[in-house]
Chain A
Amino acid sequence: MTLIEVRWHGRGGQGVVTASELLANAAIFEGKYAQHFPEFGPERAGAPVRAYTRISDEPIELHTGIYEPDIVVVIDPTLLVNMDILLSGLKRGGVFVINISEPPSELKERCKELGAKLYYVDATKIALEIFKRPFFNTPMLGALLKATGIVKLESVHEAVKRRFKPEIAELNIKAISRAFEEVRSA
């Protein structure tokens, strides 16, 4: 495996940064090298936020932004109003994973043009049922795993157990597993 770069899109308060951090830690547990960094700036609830993850089998020398991601994960469907930003730089043959019950036809067409694979899952529903709160981040991590196999499900479970208190970890593992099962390819 060579270097894989992931860009996460969400809104402040939804756990975008945590999802990226969990992914990086999961890769580190597997003995891989990883980097996670948030997009820096004033942190405001509701404002669009990005986070980035790099994963590699070899030490990572790069310390620069990610401009041409292999994978884009969108954890808030309302960000689709600006589809160009979400698709910006996505590599040909890349993967686009979004939280949505049914992807709009325009998104399907744009992904087709880019040769990108489109995956979707209703993470909002999963989050509201399991957490009773809009934490779409960990379900989307589950969806990403199924779509790409970038790290093992068990590694993410381990990362979650180390990150959260047992009762919270259990809910997150449930959300991740459910999204893992429910994610669909468009």
Chain B
Amino acid sequence: MGKRLGLTGNEAVAYAVKQADVDVIAAYPITPQTVIVERLSEYVANGELDAAFVPVESEHSALSTVVGAAATGARVFTATCSQGLALMWEILYIASALRLPIVMSIAARALSAPINIHCDYSDVMGTRDAGWITLFAENVQEAYDNIVQAFRIAEDPEVLLPVMCVHDGFILSHCLEVVEVLEDEQVRNFLPRRDRPNVLDPSKPITLGPVGLPDSYMEFKRQQDEAMKVAYRKVKEVGKLFGELSGRYYDVVHAFGVEDADVVAVCMGSAAGTTRYVARKLREKGLKVGVLKIRMFRPFPKNEVRELLKGAKLVIAMDRATSLGGAGHPLQMELATTFYTWRQKPLIMSVVYGLGGRDLTPMDIERMFNIALEYAKKGEVPEEALWLGLRE
């Protein structure tokens, strides 16, 4: 068993990246991700990590740098959030389409305006269609564990896709918790160096990222979509292998109390623990509620969602981001599509919470469950989202 340390989310991410023995790091500091970059530059400066640390002038350059480095076969890492992630946007698509196994950490933070440094998923949801595997951490332990697994997933010869590991800004990035870390050697053995096809090598010249005109572009996109299907399976496999190594088994979702629940709240990130805490108390009172945590947002775990929610009368889609003017909010739309294209269609109640770091309190969650239980009884839900914790 590994060491038991008190680490913040950012420290845990940096520690995992050091153990992964990356070759190139390029990153630009942005609150609340900054400590990741600070720790990694310290590790490189004091010789604990033998990597090239490239201090860049913007996030656009940070991702471009790791794209270039990854294309040569290097193991690479970057981290950002919010405006920084927005600035990376055009390179996100290039990273995934070039099939580069980049690992990026996101300390999720709201987008401006108004300027806000606190947690929500408006930054991550902006990358929804960019072709990145996306994992969410519920706590600091998971933030550490996800990074270790991400390199294994990304570099799998059948996957070769970038992975985004999200931990909630401030709520986890600046929260110190107990983390059981693996030994360096265990991580090295878990992440063996593998030969990759199509790397840039002056002795065997190839072209990466040429034009793909109407005669070939669609085929590239279809291949990426197929790679995502493989990634779905691989994330599950790696979660199991990681469990054999650490004792902490991971799947693409985590369910609590769903077997007999009338109402199941579906959420991501740090909200999952608080929601489970409330659900447990309500179940003690005999209320049939459950929680389904989505750990892997991309590819979206349709099979598990259908299987685990098949008995639910009502599903609550808890969104920490909005799709302004949309037919629904991001997670709500995923769930609606997941069920609409299937035989069973539970009611889906949309909840928007925690924008710009608005705290999600146990009281709010209890109120949400009570409202949902009423709707489940009536057999109908309102079309408009419930904005939890909104000052009215």
Contact = CB atoms under 8 A, between A and B. Distances in A.
A12 B168 CA distance: 24
B100 to A, nearest CB: 32
Contacts of B6: 21, 24-25, 28, 34, 36
B340 interface: no
Contacts of B172: 63
Contacts of A33: 177-178
For chain B, the bracket of interface size reads: 20 to 34
Nearest to B32: A40
A36 B176 contact: yes
B176 A64 contact: no
A24 B174 CA distance: 13
Contact of B273 (A21, A24, A62): A62
Contacts of A59: 178
B361 A64 contact: yes
Interface string A40-61: 1000000000000000000111
B277 A40 contact: no
B107 to A, nearest CB: 12
Interface string B274-303: 101100000000000000000000000000
For chain A, the bracket of interface size reads: 20 to 34
A65 interface: yes
B361 A65 contact: yes
B181 interface: no
Given A28-B6, A35-B177, A40 B117 contact: yes
Given A61-B273, A63-B168, A63-B273, A37 B359 contact: no
Scoring B4, B6, B139, B361 by chain A CB atoms within 10 A of each residue's CB, the highest score goes to: B6
Given A25-B6, A34-B176, 10 more contacts: A28-B5, A28-B6, A33-B178, A37-B176, A40-B118, A59-B178, A61-B273, A63-B270, A63-B271, A67-B361
22 contacts: A21-B176, A28-B6, A33-B177, A33-B178, A34-B6, A34-B176, A34-B177, A36-B175, A37-B174, A38-B174, A40-B32, A59-B178, A60-B273, A61-B273, A61-B274, A62-B274, A63-B171, A63-B271, A63-B273, A63-B274, A64-B362, A67-B361
